[in-house]
Structure 1
Amino acid sequence: MSPLLVFGVIAIYFALLLLISYLTSLKSDSQTFYTGNRESPWFLVAFGMVGAALSGVTFISVPGEVGNTHWAYLQFVMGNMVGYAVIGLVLIPLFYKLNLISIYEYLKTRFGQKAYLSGATIFLISQTIGASFRLFLAATVLQLAFFDAFDIPFYASVLTTMVLIWLYTYKSGIKTIVWTDTLQTIFLLLAVVITIVVIGKHLDKSTAELLAVVGESDLSSIFVWGGNSSQNFFKMFAGGIFITIAMNGLDQNVMQKNLTCRNKKDAQKNIFWFSITFFVSNLLFLSLGVLLYHYAEINGIDLPKATDELFPYLALNHFGTLAGVVFLLGITAAAFSSADSALTALTTSFCIDIVNLPERTNIDQDKTRRWIHIGFTFLVFLTIVAFNEVNDRSVVSAVFKAAGFTYGPLLGLFAFGLSNKFTIRDKWVPYICLLSPVLSFILDWNAANWFNGFQFGFEILLVNAAITYIGLLLASKR
């Protein structure tokens, strides 16, 4: 693809985002950044959250991973559906009842100041690493597709991207995000649908014939019953439930959008309809994966060694200009739909949980909030550059996985708070929240040697949360 064409696509995309930012910032006040004044239509939030939930990792990795684990990932998505139901029926009523801006304010009410700061700090660390990792994956694709052609170094392209994200989020925050997420979800899903249509034309197959290819392929097998496999159904299903609760229901990035709805009922409708759309979207990605491998086999194409490179390689080199353009729009949308909301959530949590900004009357709150927003923008930029300097995708993935361990203490804290009325020795909480992920990581690392070949999958989060829960129980005052 022509670098100028790529530039034009990206420039038009950002122009749309800046236009949305301008329109949503009209008549904004100090609460608009944090809550969108609780005026968001639930159906808009539901559709927009799909793009943020899928992210660049899903967009790039899920179709390629079909070659390794077939449709086993769908077992995890099935668990996600149950997790979203728990969020809708348990967590959303709680957060609306307490009228929270940051969901970690619950920990202060339930346990105390140190538990509150522990939960917020866990989120800030995990979200910074997670957002950086997701944007790093997308940035490497854009670097190859465009910036390398003009000899623009990686750090300069990432810095430009971060500045642009800051520009359209700094004023109205979550209110802008709700609307830009909708645009980004449209582009992301459009990229998958158009790519499937292009594959059908190249192979001269109708929609029914493509469905038959997917249905008859060995790659479409879903269930894995082997007990030691990390892809075992029960492991992935349980992991899907609790990872959804921990990394969505207990994540300020996701819940901040839910809390922009007008009331509890609207927020519940949002989460239920979002979960259905999310499931269908993942079916599309998995089907695309089968068709990508089928297309490569039919045409005798040598595939890249890394499965993450499958979709970008075929879209940019074999499917023609239209497919290349929509792929770039899709990966850009997937990257920014998670990065922009992450920056907004990080800023919100730091302002509310760490510096208690709304209660401080001796400073210019808007100015302070914008400086905090700039600080997190720069922090994410530095983290992405550090990932690139490591120059080892497996190491970067390990860092991302390690960040996922920190959600275990959050799950344990909320589970303990909601399941009993015990009070705890608040000063012990930071040590418990440090110890549980360390012990979990040691267990995960040595599981195969210690447990006769057994491998933890997503369910390691449950182990992590259980260690936290036991620690809190030991620290409790009945």
Structure 2
Amino acid sequence: MSPVAVIVVVLVYIALLFAIAWLAGRHADNAAFFTGNRRSSWLVAAFSMITAAMSGVTYLSVPGSVATDSFSYMQMVLGFTVGQLIVAFVLVPLFYRMRVISLYQYLDRRFGVTSQRTGAWFFFLSKMLGAALRVYIVCAVMQLLVFDRFGLPFAVNAVVTMLFVWLYTRRGGVKSLIWTDSFKTLCLVASLVLTILALVRGLGLTTGEALSEVASSDYARIFFFDDPSSERYFWKMFVAGIVLLVAMTGLDQDMMQRNLSCRSPRDAQKNILLTALCQIVVILLFLTLGALLYLYAAHVGMELPPKSDQLFSQVAVNGGLPLHVGLLFVLGMMASTYSSAGSALTALTTSFTVDLLDATRHGDEARLTQTRRRVHALMAVGMTLLVLLFGHFGNDSVINLFFKVAGYTYGPILGMFLFGICTRRRIDDRWLPLVAVAAPLLSALLQYVAQEMFGYRIGFELLVYNAAITMAGMWLLGRERKNA
């Protein structure tokens, strides 16, 4: 695939993205940046959330995972659906009632400012590492497709990518993000559907025959009840899906910022329920695509890549399919990457400005605007430096370590919110940072001991143990509220 063709697709995509961002964010103020003035259409918000929940990692890895995990990911998606109900009917009414800008303002009002800042710092670490890793993975693909062919270093790739993300999010924030992410959703779903149709034609089958072929293959197995120690065991994935969704959507400033931009709690709930249904369909498309990629590779005698997350790019670019398939791959990858990076940058700016700098208490709109813009630029620079750091190492073990750290840090956030919602105890929150740091470390130790001593592999459900340890620590710091 010609790098010139890739560049043309990317530039057209970015031009459209900037046009939408400019139109949506022309008259945006601080309230528009942080909450979209709470006037977002629930239907548009739901459409935008489809891509927001994805990333370049999802786009590359979920299709490739089908060979080893079949369709078992759908077990977790069922858990996601239950988690969406908890977010819609427990968290949304709570956050709307408190009129929070940042979710972690709840922790301040429930326990104290130290709790708010602890939650915000853990979110900052989680989101900054996770977003930078996702951008790095896609930059690595673009380096092979374009930048290496022109002799340009990885640093240029990373800086250009993050510069575009910073530019299109700097003015409108959530107000423009809702519309730009809707456009990205359209691009992502179109690329998935059209790529699937191209693979069906490449296999020489009709759509019905291809779906029948997928359904009758080993790839299509969804439910795994046979081995409780396996990471694919149904109940482990189902429960983990519930907890992950609540922690990484309901308690994540990035994701909830869109929900809280709707006009009312009822609109936000409709948005979340529609998102849950759409998520099921989109994940099924990803998994079906994965099965078809493997069937197509076998059909044409293509050697499988050493890493499963390279399968999609290899088939799309070098699989003998029409040129437009490779360009669709690039389009979908760009849509997923810019969505996750742009929303993360907006959420990091909001949380840092509101929770850590406490800039909204002064009531000075001009001063708040100046602070917010400086923080937004600082977050973009920080994310760029992390992407460059990952590019310098280029080592899977180092990158996986950072990704695990980002995952561990959601446990204390979940534990803090659950303790606040489910108990009536006050705590001496001066010691909460110590509890929040200890919980992930003890969780990692528990995971190691379970594997080494009992042969039991703790998978996604590690988040549950992490949150439980946090809650136990908070209980030791607390006492029953007498005036509640």
Equivalent residue runs for 1:20-39 within 5 Å: 20-39=20-39
Equivalence for 2:136: 136
AA aligned to 1:284 is: L
**In the alignment, which of 452, 455, 472 is matched to residue 453 of structure 1?**
455
**In the alignment, which of 404, 408, 411 is matched to residue 405 of structure 1?**
408
Deviation per CA, 1:242-284, whole angstroms, max 9, x where unpaired?
A: 0100011000000001011001000000000001000110001
Which SS does the other structure have where 1:423 is aligned? Answer: strand
Which SS does the other structure have where 1:31 is aligned? Answer: helix
Equivalence for 1:125: 125
**Separation in 1, partners of 2:426, 2:451:** 38
**In the alignment, which of 452, 467, 470 is matched to residue 469 of structure 2?**
467
AA aligned to 2:376 is: H
Contact 2:409 2:440 in 1 (8 A): yes
The percent identity for this pair of structures is 42
Equivalence for 1:158: 158
**In the alignment, which of 419, 423, 435 is matched to residue 416 of structure 1?**
419
**In the alignment, which of 394, 397, 408 is matched to residue 394 of structure 1?**
397
In the TM superposition, what is the alpha-carbon distance from 1:395 to its structure 2 partner? 2.5
Equivalence for 1:428: 431
Equivalent residue runs for 1:65-214 within 5 Å: 65-214=65-214
Equivalence for 1:348: 350
AA aligned to 1:458 is: F
Equivalence for 1:50: 50
Equivalent residue runs for 1:211-250 within 5 Å: 211-225=211-225, 226-250=227-251
**Separation in 1, partners of 2:238, 2:30:** 41
In the TM superposition, what is the alpha-carbon distance from 1:35 to its structure 2 partner? 0.8
In the TM superposition, what is the alpha-carbon distance from 1:394 to its structure 2 partner? 3.3
Which SS does the other structure have where 1:364 is aligned? Answer: helix
Structure 2 length-normalised TM: 0.97
**Separation in 2, partners of 1:397, 1:388:** 13
Stretch moving more, 371-380 or 137-146: 137-146
Structure 1 length-normalised TM: 0.98
**Separation in 1, partners of 2:398, 2:296:** 31
AA aligned to 1:375 is: L
In the TM superposition, what is the alpha-carbon distance from 1:219 to its structure 2 partner? 1.1
**Separation in 2, partners of 1:20, 1:394:** 39
**Separation in 1, partners of 2:446, 2:479:** 29
Aligned residues: 477
Q: RMSD value over aligned CA atoms?
A: 1.1
AA aligned to 2:398 is: V
Stretch moving more, 366-375 or 120-129: 366-375
**Separation in 2, partners of 1:55, 1:185:** 11
In the TM superposition, what is the alpha-carbon distance from 1:69 to its structure 2 partner? 1.1
Which SS does the other structure have where 1:54 is aligned? Answer: coil
**Separation in 2, partners of 1:194, 1:139:** 24
In the TM superposition, what is the alpha-carbon distance from 1:202 to its structure 2 partner? 1.2
**In the alignment, which of 357, 360, 370 is matched to residue 359 of structure 2?**
357
**Separation in 2, partners of 1:220, 1:392:** 32
Equivalence for 2:479: 477
AA aligned to 2:175 is: K
Which ranges in structure 2 are unaligned for 5 or more consecutive residues?
Answer: none
**Separation in 1, partners of 2:307, 2:371:** 44
Equivalence for 1:305: 306
Stretch moving more, 199-208 or 302-311: 199-208
AA aligned to 1:82 is: V
**Separation in 1, partners of 2:279, 2:143:** 29
Which SS does the other structure have where 1:477 is aligned? Answer: strand
Stretch moving more, 362-371 or 301-310: 362-371
**Separation in 2, partners of 1:387, 1:213:** 40
In the TM superposition, what is the alpha-carbon distance from 1:367 to its structure 2 partner? 1.9
Stretch moving more, 390-399 or 367-376: 390-399
Contact 2:174 2:258 in 1 (8 A): yes
**Separation in 2, partners of 1:41, 1:212:** 38
AA aligned to 2:336 is: A
Which ranges in structure 1 are unaligned for 5 or more consecutive residues?
Answer: none
Which SS does the other structure have where 2:65 is aligned? Answer: helix
Deviation per CA, 1:274-332, whole angstroms, max 9, x where unpaired?
A: 01000110001001111110011111110101001000110011222110111100000
**Separation in 2, partners of 1:29, 1:332:** 28
In the TM superposition, what is the alpha-carbon distance from 1:361 to its structure 2 partner? 5.3
Which SS does the other structure have where 2:54 is aligned? Answer: helix
**Separation in 2, partners of 1:387, 1:444:** 26
**Mapped pair 1:283 → 2:284:** yes
**Separation in 2, partners of 1:223, 1:401:** 26
Contact 2:28 2:175 in 1 (8 A): no
In the TM superposition, what is the alpha-carbon distance from 1:447 to its structure 2 partner? 2.1
